[in-house]
Amino acid sequence: MLVRNGLGQIKEENELNNSIFEYKNWDEEMLKALALISPGEASWLKTLDRMPVVSGNFINTEHKLYVQVMNEKLTRLDMIIRKHLDLPQKKQRG
């Protein structure tokens, strides 16, 4: 949750740069690992088209974009994990 909490709690631009760097590293490693299990799902997770609007206190548009992307990726990753562990899916947002 460092990724989610880190990006969501940013107050200054230097914190944003550090958090984006950490997020990009996490994202790259996670996608590599997922591609070993399911290349199709890794591709689906990598290609974001529509994303729900997020609300919060953002320091700039880049901050808002990364929080939005991260939230969508974490939602999709949760769906993938639940599928592979044969767990019930969470109710879809809509």
- Residue 24: which domain range? 2-84
Counted domains in the chain: 1
Summarised one tens digit per residue, pLDDT across range 42-53 is 999 888 877 777
Distances (CA, A) of 80 to 29, 38, 76, 88: 16, 10, 6, 11
Spatial neighbors of 70 by CB under 8 A, at least 6 apart, are 3, 4, 7, 23
In a domain, 29, yes or no: yes
In a domain, 94, yes or no: no
Structure tokens at 90: 């969470």
In a domain, 35, yes or no: yes
33: pLDDT strictly greater than 90: yes
When pLDDT is averaged across residues 19-23 and rounded to a whole number, the result is 88
Summarised one tens digit per residue, pLDDT across range 65-82 is 888 898 889 889 999 999
CA 64 to mean position of chain CA atoms: 12
d(CA 21, CA 4): 13
Structure letter (DSSP) for residue 59? S
In a domain, 7, yes or no: yes
In a domain, 93, yes or no: no
